[in-house]
Structure 1
Amino acid sequence: MNKTTPDLAAYDLLAPQLSGGKDSGVMLWSFMRDATAAGVTDRVITYHSTLGPLERPAVHVDGTRYASMSELAAAQSAACGIPPDRHVEVARPAFLLTEIAAYGRFPRMSSPYCRKYAKESIISTAWTPLVRRLRRELGRPVRILKVIGLRADESRDRAHHPAYRNVLTNSARIVDEWLPVKDWPTAAVLEWHRDAPVPYHWTYDSFPGGTSRAPAPAPVRCVCSPPSGTCCWPSPAGRGSPRCTPKSNPPAATASVPTGASPT
């Protein structure tokens, strides 16, 4: 597979994976332009894999409510014209926090349980009923395009990630992966969000309602909210993890979580 851009009409299921973060928003917008041009928007189903209690919930600050990651993922899908019944939220039978407590599965650089294990694998499982039905109807393996908002600016590892590749082939399904905004620089993503139909998550401004990206540098990844307040993922500059702890970011620590807002 030498191409960097897929033929969208060649797929039976187009499956953008949304985190609710800034990159998934611009990814879906870019992808849907191509899907519309190809006349295949009816094959699009968006997916969000929730981390449950580890996912950032909605918060109230100074009388303003800021949406949760799950709400933003659904809003991103709706803003791109995708019907509500074609946006699917999935979760593992036991949330990641439970598995950390029971089995010690705390995310590490060498064991990213919060990514492939808790997100991508459960979305792949969610495809199974559709794959079974389509395979019977088509009489061949179902062709799926997994669309992700990874970008080269995020890390050296992601910079070397192929923009388009095959990730699975068996008798039931052929799954390819596409990163349509891989080459978008961070500045371009932030500029796009200035006029985006859905707001980006408050953590990119370091605290709810912040506009100066102070007092702490904007987190690199904002989907989860670890119990310790820290994350093992380094920043692009290699200076360590996002500063989301109460000590380093007091305004964020004072945010009020509405009753019942945290996923259960």
Structure 2
Amino acid sequence: MNRTGTALVLTSLLLAAACGGDADDDSRSEAEKPSASEAVDVVHDAVDSTLGVTSMGVDSEAHFEAGGQELELGADGAMDYENLVGDVTISTSQAAQDQEVQIRADGEKVWFRIDGAQAAAIPQGKTWAEGDADLLRESASADPIDLVGVVLALRGAEEVEVGGSKEIDGVPTRQFTTTVVYADALEAAGDDREAFASSFNLTGVDDADMEMEVWIGDDGVIRDFSLEVDAGDKPVEATYDVEISDANQEIGAPEAPDADDVLTGPEADAWIAQAMGA
């Protein structure tokens, strides 16, 4: 099923939920649930629709625990990928080492800030480093697949259960649940295998089940996604929650940092290149 077809299917399925909440509407909505095969197509296509948005807001949290070690990941903000406008903060916490990366862009300039004991200090005691906004096209942190690449796990879905419907931020959505083995998800990711492994790595427990719940809008874009790992008797725990908003909507330009706090010029370019691993 192509992306347009998926959106049309979801629109018809969710129309009742969008227009009312009486018993007749609920009954009609339940009767119009997609079949099992349609549900699989809807979920698969939602991955491409979500990773293909031109702009979105994101709020995500992930928790990993294995062998007594814990890792926390988070992302919060919004980005317009076509116009290079947005403000996104990415945080990590592991072994009592916290790091926070903030990216602001107004379409012409981009500003980077990194806080954390392991972060390279910005020269001259500055808080921000300024560069050309086009640098964002080289930054994994400002790409949909790297911010919400965990949803690639849904490509491995072979059996999908259809749930109820509700509005999320004014968008009619439908619930779908599925369970996928991690190794199968890696294979199903195809050319995006590396991006998926980078977003969600379960090395050593490839046979773990990923239990997922996803709410897909009538435009085919994921709005809520949650994943929980069941690794059986292996000492591994992991959860990942993602909320997506303002898909393909205009994102307002953030306020530029105070000029006194910003490093510019060749020294800033060199620091940014180092921070981006160039």
Would the TM-score normalized by the shorter structure come out above 0.5?
Answer: no
The alignment's TM-score, normalised by the length of structure 1, stands at 0.26
Radius of gyration: which is bigger?
A: 2
